[in-house]
A and B are shown apart, each in its own frame.
Chain A
Amino acid sequence: MMPGQTAFAVPHANAHIGDALVRDGLLSQARLDEALGLQARWGTRLGDILLAKGWVRAFDFYRTLSVQFDLPFVDLLESPPDETLFAMGDLDLYAQSLYLPWKQGKDGLLFAVADPSETMLAQLKDRYGKSVGFVVTSKFDIIWNVQRVANARLTDKSVLELARLRPDQSARQVFTGRQISVIGVLAALILLCLVLWPVVTLIALNSFLSIFFLLSFGLRSALTWVGSHRSIDLKVSDDEVAALEDHDLPVYTILVPMYKEPDTLPILSSALRRMDYPLSKLDIKLVLEEDDTETIQAAKDLGLEGIFEIIRVPHSQPKTKPKACNYALNFARGELLTIYDAEDKPEPDQLKKAVVAFRKAADNVACIQARLNYFNATENWLTRMFTLEYSLWFDFYLPALEALGIPIPLGGTSNHFKMDVLREANAWDPFNVTEDADLGVRLTQRGYRVGVVNSTTFEEANSHVGNWIRQRSRWFKGYMQTYLVHMRKPVELYQSLGHTGFWGFQFFVGGNILTALSLPFMLVMFVYWLATRWSGFDIIFPPLVLYISLFNLIIGNGFFVYLNMLGAFKRHNYHLMPYALSVPVYWILMTVAAYKGLWQLVHNPFFWEKTTHGLSQFKHDDLDLQRQPQA
């Protein structure tokens, strides 16, 4: 069986395994009948369905399976595999096809398999020779042992694969030698000019900023106009979703990276169970750091169904979410993949909508981005601004970026990928703290596109200023990393993105950074002048620069406030519209975060500033705490 592929089960074998489980008192007849019905709809194996539903414990199931196939059952925890038999080049196969070499038997190599079907055994015989033998074991034991044995190798791959294969696209090196030289020369030049020709230099700098802000305004106006067009969104209707046949659906891998978030697990698992998707086709990975014992224990205590797999990420630097996702990717078996954060609540039909969206979109669409919104939008001023910001982002900017071929900085959650493309692009950069933004650029460079689908994932908006700054500073740092990485070879970037994509990248990624960093200077100047009407500034505002600055001040700022109002209006968040007037205050917060990000870029570039979740006073309206497999 190839990774991700679901085969129709052999009916009589399934009937046997089901009957055997009933006979052994491990499963009720009613449940067996229901499972067989689901099997007819979903087209997956009976065992997958039983494990997905949590109706049978994994240990009991695989033991019964071994009896059915007349093979020995082995508990790999009690009888671990011989590590020397592992072929490091086959680690992906072990993890995705769920088998591994166990022991050297008298007659040949013995493989521990979770799927003892004839197809699987035949493939293994083809690969390893006819004299191999098989034992049955639990898939969880296989995953656990692959991690245990190959941790170092898998970790090395997760951390360094991109840096080895494409060092020019890895943020492992923050600044290249050439970039340091350029920055140094530029800084020295500016200092020298300030000393020799202070007024002219200040005018030049002022002019540059003014024109830059003007062009930024122009770009965002264009994005707003293009993005507001209703037909830009990749709309999937309810009818199209309903027309899907479950047995046609691919296996879907869901990565859920978490760290020290045991309280969110019950909510998360409940949300994922509610997904309108055949459970047995969900390949859910709870990606946990190995030192996060409380969350690991919480996951174990919940007794989650077979569709949830715990992937323990070994401790290594950098300790980042993309590194963890890269690690988990080794074990992913789906044809499509998405990432959800622990606090996310995706709309139940989001996976199906993504499937339809991929099928409707052009072949080179490699990623579908769902919309994000916040369930605690009205908690306080900060959450309202957060919601406004995201409404603007998803309802105007993203559809426009998509339409214009400008690289889309992905949202970090609810991005749906084609697995083969993701692996081809070497997945995420573990050194980049906004790995999603970076991946968006790399995909665009390879000629892939990102779509936006009309499905929403609800998240918790940051309600504490300190927490918000931590999160936002990481985003700014990541944007800076992304900008530095992709501007190492600007000519190549231009050639790969084209004119619109290149300049869109400059203004959207680089522009965001520059705007946030330059805001304090402009603001201090403006406030000081307002208060004192000091004429000393006149000299650095020659007429044209003055007029552009006035235009930016009045029209530019007014426009951005208006955009936020429009975003709220479009989403029917009318109560948020007045808050758009306070957007300039929000920008000040962004400036603080930007400078913090800049500081960290220099002193601690790979540090993952963890955002604390669960601070909201708004609670989820449901909590499905415990799920135990029942006979």
Chain B
Amino acid sequence: MVCPNSNTMTSIYSVNRKPRIWLPSWALFLVLGFLYLGLNAWLGGNGFISDFDVSRWTKAMTSIDAEEFRIEHIGLLYPHGPIYLMAVMHGVLGIDSAHAGAALSAILIALMFGLWNRHLWHKGYPLWSRLALVALLALHPYSLWAASSGLHNALLLLMFYVFCYGCYLIISIHDLRAVVLVAAMFAVLFFADERTMLLFLALLPLIPILAPRRMLGNSLVGIYSILAFPLLVAAGGWMYLNWVFHGDAWVFLQSPEASFRGALNHPESSAWLSALGGQWLAPLGWGLMFSALAFPLPLWLAWHYRRYHARLAAALALFLHPVLAIGLATSIFFPTDLTSFLFMLVAATMAIVLLMPRPQKIRLMLILLALGNLGGWLAMNWLPSQEALTWQRALAGEIQPVRDDLIELGLWLRENAQPTLVDDRTLYQAIAARGHAHNLILPFSHQFKNEMKRLQPHARQIVVANPSRPVAAMDRVTQQFPEFFWNGAPGYVLVYDMGEWRVWRRQPQPTPLIDEHTP
């Protein structure tokens, strides 16, 4: 109907002639997807599975398998995004293994690189250069980590790339839609990962560098408002939901179980926090150093852009963003290690490459990427978290010890699937091993709440922990019935005893004899 004016977005792409032979992004996605799936299979075979995946998988499973699906059963102490994805895999696809999280992670990271391939193609990068760039970055230890350390990391990295790409659009075409995309991305990310608010706060001082001068000059407050409002709505909404379902708007920050607190409840378990927790300048310095080590390419690109103020500023801002975030996060005892934020530099690097107006010095870029891959391993091993260490050992082929007792318990519960009173907070690994949550009396159910009001339980089966072990302090069932582990209760017999856990089963009452001939 109307002949539109030239599309300013595609005009950015049409600056460079696209190569005739191009690698379809879907093909690259498939290849990388299979490679990452293979990686996860290797890690899984060596006994590694992300604790995040197991706990969230359990949450997803228990909510789907409950009598009535209710979102509030999941709780509002952690973002729901990964749980919903896992719920779809369990409820719709019928998958019953917590490794589904790892599989999905592989797909998401492959998708991210497929996207990047497409964006590089639009910029005019020839096939060999795209293959090489993608391959090197896909093999970066931080990429491997994101694809296999938990669905939350994969989701965050993919969405962080969307954010970085949005920043690239803001800088390139000054389009309001790009600003809205970035703002909306943060709002959505809030429901996917608890690091969102920290990332946003770290972004605030960088906005004057990223935003076009014209927009800034017109109204600095305006642009901050446009960027911040969706996230504020998301956070405000989350507080409201906490108030509605938990009775207190701040539960998601105050409850010891809340993932929004990060590692605040147990900083001593993190070498990084033990060394640097509560500080911001030192973590910033270390973060900067290891970022440069793991990602020298963005720094070179920033130097390459030095004559173009906007590009230089954008490159530095995108590079510094995760670094600022790690400083901020460490000051409040949030992250368990450097990797938990710095892996996002993968996405930042991808966007910084796109800032290049045309393909140039590709070989040098590849060399720097390769050097960064080496530096990445150094960075990963600087005050790593326990999980990162386990991951690296599994990657190297070492078989990792697993919690046999919980897995055994889970398998036993699968064979004895009677209504069982359990606390999923401590037994999520067992539940995951069980493969489904049917017939489990879980903390969100009315029955569980009623049991917690009794002096003696009434459930058919009950799982309790050894009160002398640390896990008992976290287990609500054990806390309610502290003597049950040792003595059970009248009518209950011990049916399972391994390690820290026992299962007691209520015997059915004997049926009174009815003799119709008895007068």
In the complex, are the beta carbons of B7 and A566 less than 8 A apart?
no
Which of A17-25, A95-103, A567-575, A605-613 interfaces with chain B? A567-575
Given the complex, which residues of A lie within 8 Å of B240, measured CB to CB? Answer: 554
Which of A28-36, A58-66, A161-169, A361-369 interfaces with chain B? A361-369
A569 to B225, CA, bound (A): 10
Q: Is B468 an interface residue (CB 8 A)?
A: no
Q: Is A85 an interface residue (CB 8 A)?
A: no
Which of A197-205, A228-236, A264-272, A496-504 interfaces with chain B? A228-236
Q: Is A465 an interface residue (CB 8 A)?
A: no
With A231-B8, A543-B70 given, is the CB distance from A555 to B237 under 8 Å? Answer: yes
With A229-B177, A566-B176 given, is the CB distance from A577 to B237 under 8 Å? Answer: no
Nearest-CB residue, chain A, relative to B181: A225
- Give the dominant DSSP class at A's interface: helix
- Selected from A360, A558, A577, the residue in CB contact (under 8 A) with B225 is A577
A403 to B229, CA, bound (A): 28
Residues of chain B from 412 to 462 with CB closer than 8 A to chain A in the complex: none
A74 to B34, CA, bound (A): 95
In the complex, are the beta carbons of A362 and B1 less than 8 A apart?
yes
In the complex, are the beta carbons of B180 and A572 less than 8 A apart?
no
- Selected from B1, B71, B176, B226, the residue in CB contact (under 8 A) with A449 is B1
A561 to B8, CA, bound (A): 28
Interface string of B4-17 (1 = CB under 8 A from A): 11111000000000
Given the complex, which residues of B lie within 8 Å of A128, measured CB to CB? Answer: none
A558 to B235, CA, bound (A): 11
In the complex, are the beta carbons of A361 and B1 less than 8 A apart?
yes
With A231-B7, A562-B230 given, is the CB distance from A365 to B2 under 8 Å? Answer: yes
- Selected from B4, B71, B225, B244, the residue in CB contact (under 8 A) with A565 is B225
In the complex, are the beta carbons of A543 and B237 less than 8 A apart?
no
In the complex, are the beta carbons of B2 and A402 less than 8 A apart?
yes
What is the interface residue range for chain B against chain A?
Answer: 20 to 34
Interface string of B211-226 (1 = CB under 8 A from A): 0000000110111011
Q: Return A142 CB to nearest CB of chain B, in Å.
A: 40
In the complex, are the beta carbons of B230 and A361 less than 8 A apart?
no
In the complex, are the beta carbons of B219 and A574 less than 8 A apart?
yes
In the complex, are the beta carbons of B2 and A570 less than 8 A apart?
no
Q: Return A479 CB to nearest CB of chain B, in Å.
A: 25
Given the complex, which residues of B lie within 8 Å of A555, measured CB to CB? Answer: 233, 237
Residues of chain A from 357 to 388 with CB closer than 8 A to chain B in the complex: 360-362, 364-365
Nearest-CB residue, chain B, relative to A360: B3
Given the complex, which residues of A lie within 8 Å of B1, measured CB to CB? Answer: 361-362, 364-365, 402, 405, 449, 451
In the complex, are the beta carbons of B68 and A543 less than 8 A apart?
yes
Residues of chain A from 197 to 243 with CB closer than 8 A to chain B in the complex: 225, 228-232, 234-235
What is the interface residue range for chain A against chain B?
Answer: 35 or more
Given the complex, which residues of B lie within 8 Å of A561, measured CB to CB? Answer: 229, 233
Q: Is A587 an interface residue (CB 8 A)?
A: no
Nearest-CB residue, chain A, relative to B226: A569
Q: Return B123 CB to nearest CB of chain A, in Å.
A: 21
Q: Return B199 CB to nearest CB of chain A, in Å.
A: 20
Q: Return A83 CB to nearest CB of chain B, in Å.
A: 48
Q: Is A599 an interface residue (CB 8 A)?
A: no
Q: Is A618 an interface residue (CB 8 A)?
A: no
Given the complex, which residues of A lie within 8 Å of B223, measured CB to CB? Answer: 569
A441 to B81, CA, bound (A): 42
Q: Return B242 CB to nearest CB of chain A, in Å.
A: 12
In the complex, are the beta carbons of B222 and A558 less than 8 A apart?
no
Q: Return A398 CB to nearest CB of chain B, in Å.
A: 12
Q: Is B69 an interface residue (CB 8 A)?
A: yes
Q: Return B182 CB to nearest CB of chain A, in Å.
A: 13
Q: Return A194 CB to nearest CB of chain B, in Å.
A: 26
A449 to B3, CA, bound (A): 13
- Give the dominant DSSP class at B's interface: helix
In the complex, are the beta carbons of A554 and B2 less than 8 A apart?
no
A543 to B233, CA, bound (A): 22
Given the complex, which residues of A lie within 8 Å of B222, measured CB to CB? Answer: 569, 574, 577
Q: Is A547 an interface residue (CB 8 A)?
A: yes
Q: Is B175 an interface residue (CB 8 A)?
A: yes
A561 to B229, CA, bound (A): 9
Q: Is A550 an interface residue (CB 8 A)?
A: yes
Interface string of A232-258 (1 = CB under 8 A from B): 101100000000000000000000000
In the complex, are the beta carbons of A566 and B226 less than 8 A apart?
yes
- Selected from A364, A405, A574, the residue in CB contact (under 8 A) with B218 is A574
- Selected from A362, A364, A558, A572, the residue in CB contact (under 8 A) with B230 is A558
Q: Is B136 an interface residue (CB 8 A)?
A: no
Given the complex, which residues of A lie within 8 Å of B411, measured CB to CB? Answer: none
Q: Return B412 CB to nearest CB of chain A, in Å.
A: 33
A561 to B232, CA, bound (A): 12
Q: Return B265 CB to nearest CB of chain A, in Å.
A: 28
A208 to B431, CA, bound (A): 38
Given the complex, which residues of A lie within 8 Å of B5, measured CB to CB? Answer: 230-231, 235
Q: Is B135 an interface residue (CB 8 A)?
A: no
Given the complex, which residues of B lie within 8 Å of A232, measured CB to CB? Answer: 2, 4
Given the complex, which residues of B lie within 8 Å of A543, measured CB to CB? Answer: 68-71
Interface string of B171-196 (1 = CB under 8 A from A): 00001110010000000000000000
With A229-B177, A234-B2, A577-B225 given, is the CB distance from A572 to B237 under 8 Å? Answer: no
In the complex, are the beta carbons of B176 and A570 less than 8 A apart?
yes
A558 to B4, CA, bound (A): 31
Residues of chain A from 528 to 577 with CB closer than 8 A to chain B in the complex: 543, 547, 550, 554-555, 558-559, 561-562, 565-566, 569-570, 572, 574, 577
Residues of chain B from 232 to 254 with CB closer than 8 A to chain A in the complex: 233, 236-237, 240-241, 244
In the complex, are the beta carbons of B221 and A230 less than 8 A apart?
no
In the complex, are the beta carbons of A550 and B2 less than 8 A apart?
no
Given the complex, which residues of B lie within 8 Å of A547, measured CB to CB? Answer: 71
Q: Return A368 CB to nearest CB of chain B, in Å.
A: 10
A499 to B120, CA, bound (A): 37
Q: Return A319 CB to nearest CB of chain B, in Å.
A: 37
In the complex, are the beta carbons of B233 and A554 less than 8 A apart?
yes
In the complex, are the beta carbons of A566 and B71 less than 8 A apart?
no
In the complex, are the beta carbons of B6 and A231 less than 8 A apart?
yes
In the complex, are the beta carbons of B2 and A362 less than 8 A apart?
yes
Given the complex, which residues of A lie within 8 Å of B219, measured CB to CB? Answer: 569, 572, 574
Q: Return A531 CB to nearest CB of chain B, in Å.
A: 14
A230 to B219, CA, bound (A): 20
Given the complex, which residues of B lie within 8 Å of A562, measured CB to CB? Answer: 229-230, 233
With A231-B6, A554-B240 given, is the CB distance from A574 to B221 under 8 Å? Answer: yes
Q: Return B215 CB to nearest CB of chain A, in Å.
A: 9
Residues of chain A from 77 to 126 with CB closer than 8 A to chain B in the complex: none
In the complex, are the beta carbons of A558 and B7 less than 8 A apart?
no
In the complex, are the beta carbons of A566 and B230 less than 8 A apart?
no
A362 to B4, CA, bound (A): 11
Q: Return A389 CB to nearest CB of chain B, in Å.
A: 18
Given the complex, which residues of A lie within 8 Å of B230, measured CB to CB? Answer: 558, 562
Q: Return A185 CB to nearest CB of chain B, in Å.
A: 35
A405 to B240, CA, bound (A): 39
23 contacts between A and B (CB under 8 A): A230-B5, A232-B2, A235-B5, A361-B1, A362-B2, A365-B2, A405-B1, A449-B2, A543-B68, A547-B71, A554-B236, A554-B241, A558-B236, A558-B237, A559-B233, A562-B233, A565-B225, A565-B226, A566-B176, A566-B180, A569-B176, A569-B222, A577-B225
Apart from the given pairs A361-B2, A554-B236, 18 other A-B contacts in the complex at a CB distance below 8 Å: A228-B176, A228-B177, A228-B180, A230-B5, A235-B5, A362-B3, A364-B1, A550-B244, A554-B233, A554-B240, A558-B229, A562-B233, A565-B225, A565-B226, A566-B176, A569-B222, A569-B225, A578-B225
Query: Chain A residues in contact with chain B, CB under 8 A?
Result: 225, 228-232, 234-235, 360-362, 364-365, 402-403, 405, 449, 451, 543, 547, 550, 554-555, 558-559, 561-562, 565-566, 569-570, 572, 574, 577-578
Please list the 4 inter-chain residue pairs (A to B) with the smallest Cβ-Cβ separation, ordered nearest first. Answer: A558-B233, A554-B237, A574-B219, A231-B4
Query: Chain B residues in contact with chain A, CB under 8 A?
Result: 1-8, 68-71, 175-177, 180, 218-219, 221-223, 225-226, 229-230, 233, 236-237, 240-241, 244
